[in-house]
Amino acid sequence: TLTDADLLEAELDRLAVRGIGVDNEEFVRGMVAVAVPVRNLEDGRVLAAVAVHAPTARASLEDLLKAVPKLKETAIRIGPLLQPAAVKK
């Protein structure tokens, strides 16, 4: 768990560049997760996230990272359903 503000900021910058969020047992011991953003089509703001979580007894973080391409595809497909009314066409 990152408790230093500078380290946290650096990690957030790395995650923004990578385009995914990763939880390697930071929130709950024995649980891993990856997530990708669902973005507003107009301005790129994050509207939601598509995530997968698993206990480490069933899947490793590396296993979940293999799902990232499918998660990104899903985020793109559901994005239009979450757009604000003014953006929907």
Give all domains of the chain, ordered by start, each with its CATH number: 5-81 (3.30.450.40)
- 83 vs 53, residue with greater confidence: 53
Instruction: Say what the alpha-carbon torsion angle 73, 76, 82, 85 is, to the nearest 10 degrees.
Output: -160
57-62 long-range contacts, CB within 8 A, separation 24+:
57/30, 59/32, 60/32, 61/22, 61/24, 61/32, 61/34
Q: What is the pTM of this model?
A: 0.80
Burial class (CB in 10 A: 0-12, 13-18, 19+), 36: buried
pLDDT in tens, 39-78: 998 888 899 999 999 999 999 999 999 999 999 999 999 9
Amino acid in position 57: A
Q: What is the mean pLDDT of residues 24-51?
A: 92
Mean pLDDT, the chain, whole residue set: 89
pLDDT at 54 (0 to 100): 96
pLDDT above 90 covers what percent of the chain? 58
Q: What is the mean pLDDT of residues 10-14?
A: 87
